[in-house]
Structure 1
Amino acid sequence: MEQDILRDISTIDLNNKVSVDNPVDYKGCMVLKKSTSARICTGRAGTRCKTIDYLRFRADHAVAQDAVWSYVDEKVVDDLGFVKVQTLVKDKEEYITRPDLGRCFSDKVINDIKQNCVNDIDVQIIAGDGLSSPAITSNLKEIYPMIVEGAKAKGYNIGTPIFVKYARVATMDKISEAINAKVTLILIGERPGLATGESMSCYIAYEASSKKPESQRTVISNIHKNGMPPVEAGAQIVHLIEILMKEKKSGIDLKL
């Protein structure tokens, strides 16, 4: 029976719910709730949080775990024309326990990238699952066309899009070196928290190289429907590409 089906508690919008019993300033609580994704105005039962808030905490924690252990929907990257490669990591467990392997490719993969992807380009776009596969599945199809169209409108030539399975941020350095890109960016799933499991970051660098420190990367984070919308983030990334191409530097050397 339909009435016997329990609603998925993770789908309840907590920003529209104040759990405090008889709050002195209900409207004030609602203003606070809508200003942050933090768990505020939850109330309590004695010295403990209420059952619904505890269950929601457990549900959001489960969503975060699922984000780490799930996989990107390959149809998304296939439909966008991404070339798929894999790091030295063999499976999810190794990805979690050996982050160093997620930064490297085999010699064969590097050679395949050199042969099958456009070399000597202005902008190289990479997508990587990172620590949240749903971040790529949910956001890539909106943000990627925005970046491509915007960069082309600025007159930049775009490389072959590459999707990296079991990716860490530093894979962008290896790919940049392999194809000689001026600006390289990687769209990668962020480590999920209790607010969302779909947050994505964009790391971008001018002449990215494994010889350069991490401080040479510029980052835009919190890209998801309840943070910075992917279309808006795409526009900001295009603007950032233009700055990097003009200034010929990135990271802490770039004064924004």
Structure 2
Amino acid sequence: MNINGTIRGTDRFLDWMKHTPARLDVGRAGTRPLTQEMLKFRLDHAEAVDAVYGEVREETIAEFGLFMVETQYRDKEHYLKYPDSGRTLTEEGAQVLALRCAPRPQVQIVVSDGLSAKAIDDNLADVLPALRDSLAANGLAEGTPFFVKGGRVGVMDDIGRLLNPEVLVLFIGERPGLVTASSMSAYMCYRPVPGRKDSDRMVISNIHANGTPPVEAGAHIGTLLRKMIEQKVSGVKLEV
């Protein structure tokens, strides 16, 4: 390759590095990564582990007046080995919803730790107020929000069975990686009930400071929920 070609190739590679947080051109010393890069890798790995095994701060839950119910997750190890345990509420949790939640709400908001407690701590304070503003702007009424400990995405179907909402949005921590441990997803479904398929749901993922901005996500979710109610569908059938 000539000199000009080499420069163009280098410029292209440097441009890629500006647009991705992935580990590119980290360098090495002999056969191993540079010490600084190895330490950064270990730090990112530790943050991911802490996100999975951590607990959402009580202050985060209390700030928005959320009460807590639990799935059949039992403990973190069981939850990680048996995903189905996070898709159904305990009998006590179901009874609490019957006592404290408005039945048949238009919009049911649920928050869950999922696989990253840090995602909820870092993003809920921005995304939830933005969503509430968007619901008001779109003429939608909110039900009784609450927090689910040990939840998986499928728990929205069990909640749908119990509360019969028109639409449900679930904020849940995503599986952390080595780029960020703070990523949250928002799953939405029209008339969620047991047996719903993944194609019946919609999702906005990578909600965090360096991904989809939480405020933007909250604003967009309200518009999507209105369209779901108008069209009476969600997932791949929704015309956006």
- Give the TM-score of the pair, scaled to structure 1: 0.86
Match of 2:174 among 174, 190, 194: 190
CA distance in 2, matches of 1:46, 1:189: 38
Q: CA deviation at 1:254?
A: 1.8
Q: Which residue of 1 aligns with 2:32?
A: 48
CA distance in 2, matches of 1:162, 1:32: 41
Is structure 2 residue 46 aligned with structure 1 residue 62?
yes
Q: Which residue of 2 aligns with 1:80?
A: 64
Q: Which residue of 1 aligns with 2:196?
A: 212
Q: Which residue of 2 aligns with 1:222?
A: 206
Which secondary structure state, in structure 1, belongs to the residue aligned with residue 153 of structure 2? Answer: coil
CA distance in 2, matches of 1:212, 1:171: 11
1:142 maps to a residue whose letter is D
> Per the alignment, do residues 24 and 61 of structure 1 end up closer, same or farther by CA in structure 2, a change over 3 Å counting?
farther
Paired residues of 2:138 and 2:223 also in contact (CA < 8 A): no
Query: Which structure carries more relative contact order (alpha carbon 8 Å, separation 6+)?
Result: 2
Structure-to-structure mapping, 1:128-147, within 5 angstroms:
128-147=112-131
Q: Which residue of 1 aligns with 2:159?
A: 175
Q: Provide Cα deviations, 1:35-68, integer angstroms capped at 9, x if missing partner.
A: 0011012122233321211221111111111110
Q: Which residue of 1 aligns with 2:76?
A: 92
Q: Which residue of 2 aligns with 1:18?
A: none
Give the stretch that moved more between structures: 23-32 or 70-79. Answer: 23-32
CA distance in 1, matches of 2:69, 2:161: 16
Aligned length: 234
Match of 1:38 among 19, 22, 42: 22
CA distance in 1, matches of 2:21, 2:185: 18
Q: Which residue of 2 aligns with 1:10?
A: none
CA distance in 2, matches of 1:108, 1:68: 25
Q: CA deviation at 1:153?
A: 2.3
Gaps of at least 5 residues in structure 2 are: 1-5
Q: Which residue of 1 aligns with 2:94?
A: 110
Match of 1:153 among 137, 157, 172: 137
Give the stretch that moved more between structures: 47-56 or 60-69. Answer: 47-56
CA distance in 1, matches of 2:108, 2:19: 36
CA distance in 2, matches of 1:98, 1:219: 23
1:78 maps to a residue whose letter is A
CA distance in 1, matches of 2:97, 2:56: 21
- Give the TM-score of the pair, scaled to structure 2: 0.92
Paired residues of 2:48 and 2:180 also in contact (CA < 8 A): yes
Q: Provide Cα deviations, 1:194-240, integer angstroms capped at 9, x if missing partner.
A: 00000000110000111221221111100000101100111111121
Q: CA deviation at 1:184?
A: 0.3
Paired residues of 1:152 and 1:158 also in contact (CA < 8 A): no
CA distance in 1, matches of 2:53, 2:60: 18
Match of 1:238 among 196, 200, 222: 222
Is structure 2 residue 106 aligned with structure 1 residue 122?
yes
Is structure 2 residue 235 aligned with structure 1 residue 251?
yes
Which secondary structure state, in structure 1, belongs to the residue aligned with residue 187 of structure 2? Answer: strand
Superposition RMSD on alpha carbons, in Å? 1.7
2:29 maps to a residue whose letter is A
1:161 maps to a residue whose letter is P
Q: CA deviation at 1:181?
A: 0.4
